[in-house]
Amino acid sequence: MKKKNAKHSMKKLRKAIRKAQNAKRYEHTLGVEYTAAALAMRYGENMQDALLAGLLHDCAKCLPDEELLRICEKNNIPVTEEERSLPFILHGKVGGILARKKYGVENEDVLNAIYYHTMGREGMSLLEKIIFVADYIEPGRDKAPGLAELRTLAFQDLDKALVRILEATLQHVKESGCTVFSGTEQTLNYYKKQ
């Protein structure tokens, strides 16, 4: 994305994303976009990159499971058995593909922030952490316990907020009897050691 056209391009991207998402998902997307920008300002990350990654983080969220699997296969993206059993988790990976191919994003850090926003990964960049955390704490979220405290923590210590979110996510998944993704546990274990 060319810097001189960034505002115009963001306006066009918002229109495209609004068409691709239902109203509730689009509202969440805008919340993540602006929360990511606020976190970027706080931690000295490029604000335009944060806005872009926040806007596109769920660009594949509304695609059917079969389409997510098909896009991964077509683009030689490895799909684990865990992911195949619950394909909706692939929206991050597919979002990274769509961001590049459909929306013209070339910045690898932005693409990785979209790609890894669902489960995280070891050695995340600052932007990846920002998008992961912003996705959880954006203002429209209201169901997770301890959100007010997490929102404060996110602006004090991003890594601690990241760990708390990973812990809360795993606890919620276990309590609801759903499959715990090994990638999320690996990410948590990595950051707990940091």
Tokens of 58: 């769920």
- The CATH classification number of 3-144 equals 1.10.3210.10
C-alpha span between 123 and 132 (Å, rounded): 13
> Whose structure tokens read 């969440």?
28
pLDDT of 139 > 70? The answer is yes
Over residues 149-165, the mean pLDDT reads: 97
Among left, alpha and beta (phi > 0; psi -120 to 50; other), residue 190 is alpha
The structure's pTM equals 0.93
Over residues 82-107, the mean pLDDT reads: 94
Range from 27-31, 58-62, 175-179 carrying the lowest mean pLDDT: 175-179
Kindly report the number of other CB atoms within 10 A of residue 135's CB atom: 23
C-alpha span between 192 and 187 (Å, rounded): 9
- Tell me which of 193 and 178 has the higher pLDDT: 193
To the nearest 10°, report the CA torsion of 60, 61, 64, 67.
Answer: 20
Residue 121 DSSP code: -
pLDDT of 5 > 70? The answer is no
C-alpha span between 84 and 65 (Å, rounded): 9
Tokens of 153: 């923590």
> Which residue ranges make up each domain of the chain?
3-144
* CB-based burial, 68-93: b 16+ in 10 Å, e otherwise: bbebbeeeebeeeeebeeebebbbbb
What is the structure's pLDDT at 8?
Answer: 53
SS3 for 80?
Answer: coil
Through-space distance between the first and last CA atoms of the chain, rounded to whole angstroms: 34
